[in-house]
């Protein structure tokens, strides 16, 4: 007994060596049965080592979860290497139409994908291969790539998951693939991408958030994930995901009630799944416009949400603390019998054992701490997914809401409609009814999807009631209906307003104060998201903060992605102009400071655009030689502002009057392979700068630029 304990103690003190015995076994010419035995022996040894370190407190939670994930990755990769070699011997190497070898990609999803595996997790796997093709022939002849990889995947699942006298390695769940169990076990990249584009559902986006390459062709796997990213992370604020996520949660809640899972620390109320839902909902909605959220570990997601002020710091801390506590509980429950259980024990001795393993004197003190954490999770999660009308209604009187709905649907008697609108404060009930009728008969409304129509049906009564609370209800409603016409085909914006009455409140306030802001929001509905946080909406950043914000936005984008850079510049300008306008119209910002802020925005953009364009040209052609007076200068390009920008008097719709000057010496740029005349370098630089600023995109332009002031005006040289 002492020897056994001593051996286990030494094992717990050892550093993990997951690539040792396993790598040797998978490289050797051994049978599938021998591989299965080797993997199971290795798994038992590593599980004991990881569990001892966890129980003794020698490893923090992240290290324990990472070690378990590394163990799974190593086992999957080792099994795949041997099985791939055996399949190639039978059928030959699969190749694409160009004769290039193609290899399997194994994606890890769920806890495996996030690097958060627990002690008795299934491993959620999805299989794919880069292209269709055929094998080159082996002992059994040739076959197509799909058949080859299907055999390989079946063997892999069997090697990992089959229960033998030595146990199992990891249970494999491959049901998250397209069409689930009814679908093919493995698909080509093209078929996979086509499926998600045509038939992908919200829960599949949810599942793919944590996807990563666990084994196989890592380069091809990363390429696949890049191709799937637009499906997972939409390039707009996808508030339409609320309804789908709410349905998913309701199904889980129903399962909890019907199966008596209240004591389930994973699926039960206030459990691990709710924390994951909390974070992943933000990822689905905002991940496309906030790339920092395109990460997998839930604790990092919560930290980013707090950092970006998307949730209060106390909420992030409470959810993080609850997650750590619940994952430790999950570990202790599963370490006892190596079973995939999440239910709290009911037997007195088992309860005492769990409490002691968690560091508590007894079940009562442990249970109090558990209830404390689960109550926090339950509160934050319930508030997040509650229907908007359930917790922040615009009108507390249900009867009023019913009448407004009937008015929109055209079933309210004319006399009652007039009386209702007059009671709400509209000066011309008939004109309001005409506006509502015109909106209902709008041609684009007839083409709306069923989901969009349902959201609009919920939103219009809210808008009428909100407009009634403004100083000028009739004009405000007219401006709001103009906004609705501009966004009604983009139903995620309708969902944004339905799900966030605070945003609707700000929209009404700003639209009522300024027709210009109402029109600005109609032309740039992406700005609706800015209304979420009044701390930034009514507090325009200073020059330094403006520069930092734009730098952060541009550093997220690949240096050669011109389209995305141009989009980011336009959104940045619109966001900050809205902040100035909102502060201006609400008298938060003194009138004399408005033009200062607008000029700062323009100058920060010009500075970044010039540097961006210069660096892109220099990367291709090298640097130009420049000098001023008797000294050399580094970039030798300057933008002179005339007119309103020159006088720091820029208005909301002002053009930029600019002159470009350069200090190029005679000669060529420094790249000998692609040299360019120095003066021509700066001419192209000026053209690029203007292109970045003035070319219309889906988000409009940054600024119109007037270059007619240089010598000879429009007919003269640009730089």
The pLDDT of residue 2: 46
Three-state SS for 465-515 is HHHHCCCCHHHHHHHHHHHHHHHCCCHHHHHHHHHCHHHHHHHHHHHHHCH
For 488-507, give one letter per residue: b (16+ CB within 10 A) or e. Answer: bebbbbbbbbbbbbebbbbb
Residue 108 lies in a domain: yes
Residue 538 lies in a domain: no
Report the CATH number that the domain containing residue 554 is assigned in CATH.
Answer: 3.30.460.10
The token pair at 631 is 């000294």
Residues 263, 201 share a domain: no
d(Cα 493, Cα 110) in Å, to the nearest integer? 29
User: CA distances (Å), 550 to each of 73, 290, 619, in order?
Assistant: 39, 14, 21
Residues 357, 437 share a domain: no
Residues 576, 528 share a domain: no
Residues 221, 280 share a domain: no
The pLDDT of residue 1: 42
Residues 420, 321 share a domain: no
Please say which residue of 489, 504, 532 terminates a domain: 532
Residue 537 lies in a domain: no
Q: Is 641 helix (H, G, I), strand (E, B) or coil?
A: strand
Give pLDDT < 70 ranges for the chain. Answer: 1-28, 236, 240, 252-253, 255-256, 258-259, 385-398, 532, 708-719
Q: pLDDT tens-digit profile of 361-375? A: 999 999 999 999 999
Q: Is 283 helix (H, G, I), strand (E, B) or coil?
A: helix
Cβ neighbours of residue 53 under 8 Å, at least 6 residues apart?
12, 59, 63, 64, 67
Q: pLDDT tens-digit profile of 582-636? A: 888 878 888 788 999 999 999 999 999 999 999 888 888 888 888 887 777 778 8
Please say which residue of 386, 417, 438 terminates a domain: 386
Residue range of the domain that includes 89: 2-232
- Structural domain tally of the chain? 4
d(Cα 502, Cα 552) in Å, to the nearest integer? 27
The pLDDT of residue 536: 79
Residue 472 lies in a domain: yes
d(Cα 358, Cα 351) in Å, to the nearest integer? 11
> Please, what is the end-to-end C-alpha distance for the chain in angstroms?
86
User: CA distances (Å), 132 to each of 1, 154, 177, 197, in order?
Assistant: 57, 19, 18, 19
Q: Is 125 helix (H, G, I), strand (E, B) or coil?
A: strand
For 73-105, give one letter per residue: b (16+ CB within 10 A) or e. Answer: bbbbbbbbbbbbebbbeebbbbbbeeeeebbbb
The pLDDT of residue 394: 45
Query: For residues 539 and 579, is the Cβ–Cβ distance under 8 A?
Result: yes
Helices and strands, number each (H, E), in the chain: 31, 12
The token pair at 568 is 């980011």
The pLDDT of residue 440: 86
Residue 214 lies in a domain: yes
In terms of pTM, does the model score above 0.75?
no
Which of 497, 424, 421, 417 is closest to 456 using CA atoms?
497
- Following DSSP, what letter does each residue of 50-117 receive, concatenated? HHHHHHTT-S-HHHHHHHHHHHHHHHHHHHHHHHHHHHHHHH--EEETTS-B---EEEEEHHHHHT--
Residue 575 lies in a domain: yes
Q: How many CA atoms lie within 13 A of 132 on its CB side?
A: 3
Q: pLDDT tens-digit profile of 249-258? A: 777 667 667 6
Residues 555, 515 share a domain: no
Residues 587, 695 share a domain: yes
Residue 303 lies in a domain: yes
The pLDDT of residue 301: 97
Residues 191, 80 share a domain: yes
Please say which residue of 176, 204, 232 terminates a domain: 232
Query: For residues 484 and 519, is the Cβ–Cβ distance under 8 A?
Result: no
Q: How many CA atoms lie within 13 A of 365 on its CB side?
A: 9
Report the CATH number that the domain containing residue 519 is assigned in CATH.
Answer: 1.20.120.1510
Residues 65, 21 share a domain: yes
The token pair at 35 is 């591989």
Rg (CA), the chain: 31
Residue 451 lies in a domain: yes
Residues 307, 249 share a domain: yes
**61-65 contacts: CB < 8 A, separation 24 or more?**
61/324, 61/327, 61/328, 62/297, 62/299, 64/331, 65/111, 65/115, 65/116, 65/117, 65/118, 65/327
Residues 380, 336 share a domain: yes
d(Cα 639, Cα 613) in Å, to the nearest integer? 13
Residues 223, 185 share a domain: yes
């Amino acid at each position: 007994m002492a020897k056994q304990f001593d051996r286990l103690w030494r094992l717990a003190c050892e550093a993990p060596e997951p690539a040792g015995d396993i790598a040797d076994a998978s490289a050797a010419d051994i049978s599938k049965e021998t591989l299965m035995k080797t993997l199971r022996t290795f798994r038992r040894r590593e599980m004991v080592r990881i569990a001892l370190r966890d129980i003794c407190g020698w490893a923090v939670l992240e290290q324990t979860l990472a070690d378990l994930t590394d163990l799974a990755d190593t086992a999957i990769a080792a099994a795949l290497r041997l099985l791939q070699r055996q399949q190639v011997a039978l059928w030959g190497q699969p190749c694409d139409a160009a004769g290039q070898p193609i290899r399997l990609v194994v994606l890890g999803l769920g806890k495996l994908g996030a690097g958060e595996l627990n002690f008795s997790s299934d491993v959620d796997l999805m299989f794919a291969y880069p292209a269709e093709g055929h094998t080159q022939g082996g002992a059994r002849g040739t076959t197509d790539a799909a058949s080859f990889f299907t055999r390989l995947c079946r063997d892999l699942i069997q090697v990992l998951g089959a229960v033998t006298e030595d146990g199992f390695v990891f249970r494999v769940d491959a049901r998250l693939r397209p069409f689930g169990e009814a679908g093919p076990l493995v698909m080509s990249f093209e078929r996979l991408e086509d499926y998600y584009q045509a038939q992908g559902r919200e829960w599949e986006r949810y599942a793919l958030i944590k996807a990563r390459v666990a084994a196989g062709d890592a380069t091809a796997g990363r390429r696949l994930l890049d191709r799937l990213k637009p499906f997972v992370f939409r390039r707009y604020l996808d508030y339409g995901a609320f309804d789908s996520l709410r349905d998913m949660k309701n199904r889980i809640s129903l399962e909890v009630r019907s199966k008596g899972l209240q004591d389930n620390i994973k699926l039960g109320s206030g459990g691990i799944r709710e924390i994951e839902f909390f974070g992943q909902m933000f990822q689905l909605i905002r991940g496309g416009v906030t790339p920092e959220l395109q990460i997998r570990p839930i604790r990092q997601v919560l930290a980013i949400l707090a950092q970006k002020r998307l949730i209060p710091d106390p909420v992030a801390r409470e959810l993080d603390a609850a997650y750590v506590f619940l994952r430790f509980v999950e570990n202790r429950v599963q370490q006892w019998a190596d079973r995939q259980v999440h239910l709290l024990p009911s037997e007195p001795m088992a309860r005492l054992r769990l409490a002691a393993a968690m560091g508590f004197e007894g079940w009562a003190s442990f249970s109090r701490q558990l209830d404390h954490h689960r109550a926090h999770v339950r509160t934050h999660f319930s508030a997040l997914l509650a229907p908007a009308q359930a917790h922040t209604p615009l009108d507390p009187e249900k009867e009023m809401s019913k009448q407004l709905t009937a008015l929109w649907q055209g079933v309210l008697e004319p006399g009652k409609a007039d009386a209702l609108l007059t009671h709400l404060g509209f000066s011309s009930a008939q004109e309001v009814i005409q506006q509502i009728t015109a909106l209902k008969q709008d041609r684009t409304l007839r083409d709306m999807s069923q989901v969009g129509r349902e959201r609009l049906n919920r939103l219009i009564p809210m808008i009428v009631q909100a407009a009634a609370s403004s100083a000028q209800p009739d004009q405000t409603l007219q401006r709001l209906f103009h906004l609705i016409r501009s966004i009604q085909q983009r139903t995620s914006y309708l969902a944004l307003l339905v799900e966030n009455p605070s945003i609707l409140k700000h929209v009404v306030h700003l639209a009522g104060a300024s027709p210009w802001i109402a029109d600005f929001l109609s032309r740039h509905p992406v700005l609706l998201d800015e209304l979420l946080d009044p701390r930034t909406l009514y507090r325009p950043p200073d020059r330094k903060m403006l520069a930092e914000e734009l730098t952060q936005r541009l550093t997220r984008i690949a240096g050669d992605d011109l389209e995305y850079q141009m989009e980011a510049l336009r959104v940045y300008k619109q966001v900050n102009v809205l902040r100035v306008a909102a502060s201006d119209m609400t008298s938060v910002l003194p009138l004399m400071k408005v033009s200062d802020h607008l000029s700062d925005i323009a100058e920060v953009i010009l500075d970044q655009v010039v540097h961006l364009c210069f660096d892109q040209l220099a990367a291709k052609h090298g640097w130009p030689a420049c000098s001023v007076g008797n000294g050399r200068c580094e970039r030798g390009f300057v933008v002179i502002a005339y007119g309103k920008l020159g006088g720091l008097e820029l208005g909301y719709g002002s053009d930029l009057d600019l002159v470009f000057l350069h200090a190029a010496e005679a000669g060529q740029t420094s790249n000998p392979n692609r040299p360019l005349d120095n003066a021509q370098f700066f001419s192209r630089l000026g053209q690029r700068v203007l292109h970045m600023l003035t070319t219309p995109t889906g988000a409009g332009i940054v600024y119109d630029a007037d270059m007619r002031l240089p010598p000879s005006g429009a007919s003269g040289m640009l730089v």
